[in-house]
Structures are given as structure tokens and as C-alpha cells.
Structure 1
Amino acid sequence: MKINVLRLDHRFVRDTRITTHVCLTARAFGASKVYLSGDKDNKLIENVQDTSNRWGGSFEIEYKKNPMNLIDQWKNEGGEVIHLTMYGSQVPKVIDEIKASNKDKLIVVGGSKVQIEVYKNATWNVSITSQPHSEVSSLGVFQHMLMDGSEFDLKFENPVLEVVPLAHGKTVNINNENKKN
């Protein structure tokens, strides 16, 4: 099962930090790609790709002008769309059903105002809580539940930088042979 994320309605400058965190969370929790809609932000795309290159793996980020076309294409190709919203079915009640399907998943996280078409075209509208919260937190919680915690065992191939887990202190290995020119 492939997991991708669609970040709706990115606003240049205003949302740069939160959208970057959506991308980093998606990658760290096992997504292979983030689609960015809203304002095209080439600097953000470059920064996320640079992070992926330094920390390893094959994560991608791509701009999509029309997110509804992506959602329609995803479903037409047999994938499922999970829209994370505080108005959806609570995640503990639907996560087993979502995990039971091996179809590719497109996880949609909102921006300033989500179009009603997203709600109507989602396979599942899923709430992490029924309270206002961050799309970053909802994405992290959902991906953790979807992965059953296996994100802790993910291996990112060819990293330049690699954290050595320690109870105290910070150690980062630098693999110069993996540097890209």
C-alpha cells in the first residue's frame, strides 16, 4: 500500500512553516509523496526535497494546481481518499476498516477552508478529535494508527545525515559517500 498526502490550499509565506511540517511528518511516518495545492511555493518544494536528500529515502513533493483533479484521478486508479477533518467519523471507529484495505491511500489535510467537494469525494472523512487542532497533529496521529507504529522501523536509504538514538546527548552520523553534488 502506497501512502501519499495532499496538502490543500497552501498560502505562500503565511503557511510555509505549517506546510513544511506537514511534509516532514508525512515523510517521517511513511508517506512516499506530498502533493501541494494552493499557491505554488518553489522555495518550500526545494527545501523539503533537500531535507529528503540529506536524511535519505525517496520522498517526493509535487505541486498540483487542481486538487480535485488529483482526488478524482486517485479514485479512478483504484485508490482511496482519507480526508482528515474534525467533522468526520472518529478515527478509532474506522481505522480497522481503512487498514483492512490494501488499496493506495491519499490522505488529505486542509488549509484555510476545505471545499465541500473534498468531503463528498473522500472515501472516508475522519476526525482525530472533534476539536480544532493542527493538520500536522492529525496527520501524525492518523499515520501512526494506520502504520500500527511500524514507522519506528522505517529505513531511509542513502542518508547523508543519520541520528544515533541515545538516552542523553545528540549524535548524528555524517555519511559523506551519500552526498549528492
Structure 2
Amino acid sequence: MEIEVVRIGQRLVRDDRVTTHVALVSRAFGAKKIFMTEINPEIKDTLRKINETWGGNFSVEFIEKWKPIIKKKKEENFKIIHLSMYGEKINDAQEKIRKEKKLLVVVGAEKVPREIYEMADYNIGIGSQPHSEISALAILLDRIQEGQQFEKEFPDAKRKIIPTKVGKNVQVKETRD
């Protein structure tokens, strides 16, 4: 399954951290790329540093408008998933979504335009209470991949967390200068 994410909008100041976390969750939970509008360019540098240290080739692309990306991805046979508190329950849709080959997940910041609901193949709600877009993205990505994203190794990682019952264990790969 190929997964990409598009982050639409950003509430100034408050959302630098939230948008960074949307990107980090996208990366850690198996997405290959995130498209971002209205963002702080430092986020791209943060993700580059994460890739260098923790491995992988997750990419960030800045875009001016969200609509051309969604149209392009639809032409490339991606199914569009819009995360919304008002969407279909994840429990009712996850089996069908798992069968898709290419997904573009739309994560809004402020109120998203009505057009996104209409362009989406799936409008998905995670729960029926107000919650964070970060948690909604993590739950969606975990549910549709059934935890398999955590079994994959990130290539070229200089550091790797080794799960332990107690304490912290980080494996550091030696580098030769």
C-alpha cells in the first residue's frame, strides 16, 4: 500500500508544532510523503534531520494549493481519504480501505472547504468526540495497516529504538569519518 498525506491550512503560531507532529506521525506510521500548504519552512528541515538520524526517505513537498494535488493523485488512481469528525465511522470503512493500493490522506487544520468532502472517496471519522487531527491520522494509519508499519525497518538509520520492558535502549550505528 502506498500512502501519502496532504496537510491543508495552518492556524498561525499554534499549528507549527501540530503540523510538525502530523508529518512525524505520517512518517512513523508508513506514509512516504506529505504535501503542506501555509507552513513554516523549518518543518522541512526538521524532517530531513529525522530521516538522517532515524532512517528512511520520507519527503516533504510545499504546495500553494491543495486542489491540484488531489486532482493529480486521483488521476494516478489514488483514493482520497478525508479525515473528518463528521465522516463515516472508521470501524465501518477500514476493511474496504485496506483493499486500496494508493491512498492520499487529507488532514485539515481549520474548517476545510466543502469541496474536499465532495472530492474525497472516503470521508472518515475517528470517534464521535472532538479530538486532535494528529490522533485521527495515527489511528487511521494504524487501522488500515493493522500494525504492519511497525514491522518495517527504516533504511540507513543511525539510531534505532530497541523495545524494552523497563528503561530506554537506543542502538547507535557507528559511523566512520
Length-normalised TM-score, structure 1: 0.93
Q: For residue 53 of structure 1, what is the aligned residue in structure 2?
A: 52
Alpha-carbon distance, 1:84 to partner: 0.5
Q: Which runs of 5+ in 2 are unaligned?
A: none
Equivalent residue number for residue 16 of structure 2:
16
Match of 1:101 in 2: 100
Question: By how many angstroms is 1:132 displaced?
Answer: 1.2
Distance 2:176 2:107 in 1: 33
What are the superposed Cα offsets for residues 116-145 of structure 1, whole Å, 9 maximum, x if unpaired? 111110010000112211000000000001
> Counterpart amino acid of 2:129?
Q
In structure 2, relative to structure 1, the CA distance for the partners of 1:55 and 1:97 (3 Å cut) is: same
Deviation of 1:177 after TM superposition, in Å, equals 2.5
Secondary structure, counterpart of 1:18 in structure 2:
helix
Tell me, yes or no, if the aligned pair for 1:90 and 1:128 is still in contact at 8 Å.
yes
The one-letter code of the counterpart of 1:110 is G
Paired residue for 2:126? Answer: 128
- Which 4+ residue blocks in structure 1 deviate beyond 3 angstroms? none
| Alignment equivalent of 2:165, drawn from 148, 159, 167 | 167
1: CA distance, partners of 2:146 / 2:162:
23
Return 135-144 or 47-56, whichever deviates more: 47-56
TM-score (norm 2): 0.95
Identity of aligned residues (%): 34
* Distance (whole Å) between structure 2 residues aligned to residue 46 and residue 26 of structure 1: 16
Moved more, 126-135 or 4-13: 4-13
Which amino acid in 2 is paired with 1:100? K
Indicate the RMSD between aligned Cα atoms, in angstroms: 1.5
The 3-state SS of whatever aligns with 2:9 is strand
Give yes or no for contact 2:16–2:39 (8 Å, CA) kept in 1.
Answer: no
The DSSP-based 3-state class of the residue aligned with 2:175 is helix
Pair 162,85 (structure 1): closer, same or farther in 2 beyond 3 Å? same
- Pick the aligned partner of 2:111 from 110, 113, 117: 113
Between the two proteins, the alignment pairs up a number of residues equal to 177
DSSP-derived class of the 1:119 partner: helix
Q: Would the aligned equivalents of 2:3 and 2:103 in 1 still touch at CA under 8 Å?
A: yes
Distance, in Å, in 2 between the alignment partners of 1:51 and 1:135 is: 21
Change (3 A) 1:67 1:74: same
The 1:146/1:28 distance shift into structure 2, 3 A limit, reads same
Give deviations 1:130-168, integer Å, cap 9, x for gaps: 221100000000000110111220210111111121111
Return the letter of the residue paired with 2:29: F
Matched position secondary structure for 2:25: helix
